[in-house]
Structure 1
């Protein structure tokens, strides 16, 4: 029996009837587990209108002290419910439980960052900028903002945006992926329990119709998006054409450069972890392993040895890697394996027919390794978004750097070396937004900001950190002159925030 999954409007499940629905699967078994209501443009308009009223009446002017109390309460509830939310991620996305729990933990870090919003929203003050004239700055909320989240991180990506947006005084409408919406809904429900007024946090499930409605709605002032590059470009162009702020984080083709002096055991572990974690369905996965030729044979051998010990299967059974999110996506990734072999790459480990530990007919492709991949092959040129790792051999650091910089994506990259000079040169010269030095997945901590370069980001603002605070607020500068001092009366009580 399937479960009905619906929208969360003004803190409560939606009570209407949907004309359109879609199916939600357990990717480890292939079974349909839920029927998801899909929002119409009319419903999106209703939710945005309600959110605007709630923002104006119950949140825009709430004190920083009160906002912070809600944020701390939300942070505590998220911590207490992290295992339940991780289980929902595994049930609908397929990633193993430990990986799902790690996702929630990284999102929790952004909630903790947002608890410092009183400091983050401090403005500047200049006394006597002119005679008896003071000038000061402040930041104010935008109103209603939207978040369109991808399937691969149904908890973490909304948590990159929502706590910061709420802390800054905005109302939020989230559109999660229709493939795995339950974790997003579970996190959203915690906001009401934390004391957030009804209407400030809303979730509308849907497809392109819902996204287009958010992109074109005049009362949605800003929109944050994470997804593939073609869709990110569309979201950015459509949203900005309708006068919105848009931060659209797109796809990636992340390279890991291994120099001859690197610790090859460390590099092999990193390549396997970063290539096959979450079945490669991460925008920060390493999919192109760029190796200086003198150590390539040895590194490939060590990676192959580690891959042989990996167990693929149901994410609830203690396996190393789970399924892909849908049958269609599994088939698409499998087609790249076929293309890579046909185009002349050396298929070292073929994951298509490997055994899996699961019941039913899940959407599995085990870890796959290609060697001697070159630009021009589809397995190199395209973002595969699956457990396919490609080894590209180069003659030197300079050739490897040139290869990375020539790629149209610029999301994440890494270098493995024991040479501090080479590492420092790499971090300066590489044309990529997030760089790891002996760190294969360089996702910034919450008080820095997440985002790439080139075709991996559309818009000027990265996610969370101080850039996120600035994205969800607008600045105002006040010039004031007061000719007569005033007196507030006598009160010997200790002053309190309220």
Structure 2
């Protein structure tokens, strides 16, 4: 019998008022129940918010270095549990052991980073326009914030929302995605062990329609930070906007890598392959389109097919190169897009099938898939697939490559492979994306610089991570002092 886990409200672990639960199963072997979680209600969500509101004034008045010390201690506790959390992440979400370990380390580093940043919180001093006057700014916490996070980075994304929110003196009501809620639960266990006061951070599992909606719309919530699909993010933003909450939504992507003849060819194949098939393509920054100059197009298609076919697909805990989809519905969505691409006239070069047989029948496995002869108007080139499916698009020039790169409704991450500095510099200026990379894969982020997208990838309000993460969770007060 798998363990049953509670929600966390006002410093206590307890069952939901619904008395109902849901199972989380291993996507590599669905006969294994990883954990049983509470199906919380809107009343539970409201209790979490009320708890956060009650704790907010005292937490905001706690000296920032003291708040930072709790975050730093949380980082140390997570570090001591790294292997345990890595195995849990793999079992819940399906990442390979290496991918899961990297993500857990990211959460550890984020709490350490914001623990130190809390010591430097402060405003700016400006020159006053008269004698005997001081003019300065003072950052203040927004109050109580709701955080809603996805399943594909189930500890890193919660960490990069939670840590800056707490560092700046806000209290939190948090909902993880139901597909992988356990590893983020560990953040709250670590915060509790580190001495976080009761009510400051609250953890509620359950459906988006029940819990998420309550967190986004409640009148006592001052801000909402969401990461997930564009459709759900748009709904969250609308709910939050009804009473002028501050809102931040990071959403989908259709990320390109432009491959130019001047670029190192082997580097290009590795960058595209890693970006497309890493984490099973289940990343908002995954490379979904390889836009390749015609001079190297045929050679590139052959090489990326070899790359895809070289990957060992299987259980992430058993040394595979690529794990399963997180749920059957995600797998079905990928297979549907593969059928659409074939119907639209794209050439299926490799993959495209659900894997069956020994070691596969009880999991959500799909072959790494490559399409060639893709044109920009095809759905496979326009819509987010969220699986290990790569569309390879030929172009005849740099200008056409950038035009195709920008010819989507998304604008999250984009890269170019080139050794021509003019192309590199122009790409950074020309591409419509919140993250622009030169000779790097579209995935992978530094934690101390802003992250966010353009167009339908983001609400284009505030960025996440680094100092931008602190900016979202604070309001600036301008102070005039005459003496």
- Bin for the TM-score computed over the shorter chain: over 0.9
For 2:132 and 2:141, how far apart are their aligned partners in 1? 29
Distance 1:388 1:107, change over 3 A: same
For 1:270 and 1:204, how far apart are their aligned partners in 2? 38
Distance 1:477 1:286, change over 3 A: same
Distance 1:389 1:442, change over 3 A: closer
Report the secondary structure of 1:392's partner residue.
strand
Bigger Cα Rg: 1
- The aligned residue for residue 155 of structure 2 is 155
Report the secondary structure of 2:29's partner residue.
coil
Question: Alpha-carbon deviations, 1:443-480, whole Å to 9, x = none?
Answer: 44122111010100014101122221111011112222
Q: TM-score, structure 2 length as denominator?
A: 0.96
CA drift of 1:338 comes to 1.6
Alignment of 1:224-243 (within 5 A): 224-243=225-244
For 1:476 and 1:92, how far apart are their aligned partners in 2? 43
Deviation larger for 120-129 or 147-156 = 120-129
- The aligned residue for residue 83 of structure 2 is 83
CA drift of 1:19 comes to 4.3
- Asked if the contact 1:30–1:360 (Cα under 8 Å) also holds between the matched residues in 2, the reply is no
- Asked if the contact 2:6–2:16 (Cα under 8 Å) also holds between the matched residues in 1, the reply is no
CA drift of 1:289 comes to 0.5
Question: Alpha-carbon deviations, 1:146-170, whole Å to 9, x = none?
Answer: 1100010100100111110000011
- Asked if the contact 1:11–1:189 (Cα under 8 Å) also holds between the matched residues in 2, the reply is no
Deviation larger for 18-27 or 180-189 = 18-27
CA drift of 1:89 comes to 1.1
For 1:282 and 1:455, how far apart are their aligned partners in 2? 16
Deviation larger for 339-348 or 312-321 = 339-348
CA drift of 1:32 comes to 5.4
- The aligned residue for residue 468 of structure 1 is 469
- The aligned residue for residue 337 of structure 1 is 338
- Asked if the contact 2:276–2:286 (Cα under 8 Å) also holds between the matched residues in 1, the reply is yes
Q: TM-score, structure 1 length as denominator?
A: 0.93
- The aligned residue for residue 60 of structure 1 is 60
Whether 2:307 is the aligned partner of 1:275: answer no
CA drift of 1:118 comes to 4.1
- Asked if the contact 2:355–2:365 (Cα under 8 Å) also holds between the matched residues in 1, the reply is no
Question: Alpha-carbon deviations, 1:254-279, whole Å to 9, x = none?
Answer: 00000011111111111111101111
- The aligned residue for residue 368 of structure 1 is 369
Consecutive unaligned residues of structure 1, counting only runs of 5 or more, are: 483-498
For 1:438 and 1:418, how far apart are their aligned partners in 2? 8
- Asked if the contact 2:325–2:387 (Cα under 8 Å) also holds between the matched residues in 1, the reply is yes
Distance 1:127 1:309, change over 3 A: closer
- Asked if the contact 2:7–2:16 (Cα under 8 Å) also holds between the matched residues in 1, the reply is no
CA drift of 1:354 comes to 4.6
For 1:77 and 1:89, how far apart are their aligned partners in 2? 17
Alignment of 1:393-432 (within 5 A): 393-432=394-433
Distance 1:404 1:360, change over 3 A: closer
- The aligned residue for residue 481 of structure 1 is 482
- Asked if the contact 2:72–2:116 (Cα under 8 Å) also holds between the matched residues in 1, the reply is no
Alignment of 1:178-257 (within 5 A): 178-207=178-207, 208-257=209-258
Aligned alpha-carbon RMSD (Å)? 1.7
- The aligned residue for residue 492 of structure 1 is none
For 2:360 and 2:340, how far apart are their aligned partners in 1? 29
- Asked if the contact 1:311–1:356 (Cα under 8 Å) also holds between the matched residues in 2, the reply is no
Whether 2:200 is the aligned partner of 1:169: answer no
